[in-house]
Amino acid sequence: KLVALKAALAPEAERRGIRLSYTPIFVKVVVQALKENPYFNATLDMERGEILLRRYYHIGVAAAIPEGLVVPVVRHADRLTLTAVAAEVNRLAEGARERRLSPPELSGSTFSITNFGSFGGLQGTPIINPPEVAILGVGRIEPKAVVVDGRIEARPMLPLALSFDHRLDAWFHVDIKK
């Protein structure tokens, strides 16, 4: 369904002069998931022993450059349309490649997405971008053999990996007991 959705939306985005990759779709899906699971859109305050839930959605999108990895931030991703997110992701990626992003464009994220599929990776273990508590790693969509109604079919499969700070889980359970 994800592949079909992108294929259906891409022509309209192109008519608007915007290249639509999977990343903006992932950003919008992640925002919805964060609204339903707010503890992943948080920061741990170790000194005060508190979980600070964020009410805004600044999504970091990891971008590889020759010197390493940078994480430009799509601010208020919940307020943007899919095409606006796509335009912003494209602008930030270009700015990262050209090394012209400002420090505010590279900081303040509340959750990050890294796409190890963009450089051929199928699986990976994403590393949390502090002070965030979680990050989603996305692999390459590839056809895989799956069983459908007792038959083997090739279907596009998307490997995902979620890394989160295990202390969040411990604190969350403590909060429930109070």
Nearest CA among 30, 92, 81, 22 for reference residue 57: 30
- Per the residue annotation, which of 58, 76, 166, 173 is the catalytic one? 166
Is residue 173 among the annotated active site residues? Answer: no
Distance CA 138, CA 159 (A): 6
Q: How buried is residue 16: exposed, middle or buried, by Cβ count under 10 Å (0-12/13-18/19+)?
A: exposed
Distance CA 94, CA 106 (A): 13
Tell me which residue has tokens 């990759």.
21
For the CA atoms of 86, 89, 95, 101, the dihedral, rounded to the nearest 10 degrees, stands at 130
Angle between helices 2-15 and 82-97 (to 10 degrees): 80
The Cβ of residue 154 has, within 10 Å, a number of other Cβ atoms equal to 10
The Cβ of residue 17 has, within 10 Å, a number of other Cβ atoms equal to 9
Q: Which residues are catalytic?
A: 166
